Amino acid sequence: MQQQIDGQRVQEFAGQLMGLYTGSMLSFMVDLGYKTGLFEAAAKGPGTSQEIAERAGLNERYVREWLGAMTTGSIFNYDAASGAYSLPAEHAICLTGETGFNLAPMSQILAHLGKHVHKIADAFENGGGVPYSEFRPEFTEVMDSMGRRRYDALLVSGYLPAANGLQEQLQRGIRAADIGCGSGHCVNIMAREYPNSTFVGYDIAEDAIAKGNAEAKEMGLSNARFEVLDVTEIPSEPKFDLITAFDAIHDQVDPATVLRRVSEALAPDGTFLMIDIKASSNVEENVGNPTAPFLYGISVMHCMTVSLAHDGAGLGTVWGEQVARRMLAEAGFTRVEMSDAPDPLNSIYVCRE
């Protein structure tokens, strides 16, 4: 029997789709604003397209068209009488500066991952995936700019305090490792804050390790080092007192082995601090979470595919609390305390044996 079609709902859904495409297009415009310095230029005060273009040292015609998108997209205001565009102060907080509120860098992930959409479509048909190597070196840069302001704001004051007594241990002096360290910014922040402790950052990517080393040198740190290492092979001796993983387990090819090696490499009273995406492992429990579609999308476009590319577990970004807890228990962690991170996207797992 043919299903009755509700014309009104068709219209509404078509509108919803067009809204999605408009939002996606505006995300590219935000990316352009971030890359060209237009938000910083506009935050200096209202100006015509000519004035804003001059402040940013850019081509006026491009800037005017971009301002058209910004204005009709409710990001800027426009005063037709004076021809002045203005970025409201509240919007400027979310689009400029060095605080964790600056979300402009996050827009970059769309263009970056979007480059691989054809290959990912192919993987839907033929299996496999797009390996990490195809995302590099840009991936390291994008992750760094997406995360560094948040880590500057929250790592020491918000993430580490979740583990009782850890900060005191770090102050006294312990051995710590960060696995899947990416650009190494977390290692360098901790090394600067806790000069009595020593830190090593492990990543499989040479470009990431080079970045970590360069920043450590720039910061004059003698207690931070970086090493190219597949973390399925974390050395089990000498033991670490602390191992951290920031957003670095769910995209592993072999996460079960990584977690087991972490547990084996820890001293008996050591801590594994895992910061990972806040979600349920059950899709029905993620309905209504406004960022869930973004997270599942990132998973398809990156976190799951990089694992499946090597015939891996393909946990994906939204592996969720239930799967995480099961895998941590299987790896030997008998005490796992989970709490909400001080940012809206993550959970903190404090794991001890």
Binding footprint of ligand SAM on the chain (CB under 6 A): 132, 143, 147, 180-182, 202-205, 208, 230-232, 246-248, 251-252
CA–CA distances in Å: residue 339 to residues 120, 162, 273, 286, 336: 34, 8, 11, 17, 10
Closest C-alpha among 325, 321, 323 to residue 334: 325
Residue 11 CB, nearest approach to ligand SAM (Å): 40
Residue 184 CB, nearest approach to ligand SAM (Å): 8
The answer to whether 243 and 274 are in contact (CB under 8 A) is no
- Which lies closer to ligand SAM via its Cβ, residue 47 or residue 255? 255
Strand partners, 226: 201
Cα 333 to Cα 316: distance, rounded to the nearest angstrom: 22
Across the chain, the runs of DSSP E, i.e. the strands, are: 77-79, 84-86, 175-179, 198-203, 224-228, 240-246, 266-277, 335-340, 346-352
Residue 148 CB, nearest approach to ligand SAM (Å): 8
Cα 173 to Cα 194: distance, rounded to the nearest angstrom: 8
Residue 50 CB, nearest approach to ligand SAM (Å): 39
- Which lies closer to ligand SAM via its Cβ, residue 159 or residue 194? 159
- Which lies closer to ligand SAM via its Cβ, residue 76 or residue 202? 202
Cα 34 to Cα 97: distance, rounded to the nearest angstrom: 10
Cα 42 to Cα 96: distance, rounded to the nearest angstrom: 10
The answer to whether 163 and 273 are in contact (CB under 8 A) is yes
Residue 337 CB, nearest approach to ligand SAM (Å): 21
Query: 299: which DSSP letter?
Result: I
Residue 307 CB, nearest approach to ligand SAM (Å): 8
- Which lies closer to ligand SAM via its Cβ, residue 255 or residue 270? 255
Residue 20 CB, nearest approach to ligand SAM (Å): 25
- Which lies closer to ligand SAM via its Cβ, residue 129 or residue 180? 180
Residue 24 CB, nearest approach to ligand SAM (Å): 22
Query: 132: which DSSP letter?
Result: G
- Which lies closer to ligand SAM via its Cβ, residue 77 or residue 232? 232
User: Strands of 266-277's sheet, edge to edge?
Assistant: 224-228, 198-203, 175-179, 240-246, 266-277, 346-352, 335-340
CA–CA distances in Å: residue 278 to residues 46, 319, 321, 339, 342: 39, 9, 7, 9, 11
- Which lies closer to ligand SAM via its Cβ, residue 70 or residue 327? 327
- Which lies closer to ligand SAM via its Cβ, residue 204 or residue 318? 204
Amino acid at the residue 311: D
- Which lies closer to ligand SAM via its Cβ, residue 247 or residue 321? 247
Residue 204 CB, nearest approach to ligand SAM (Å): 4
The answer to whether 63 and 49 are in contact (CB under 8 A) is yes
Closest C-alpha among 280, 319, 273 to residue 298: 319
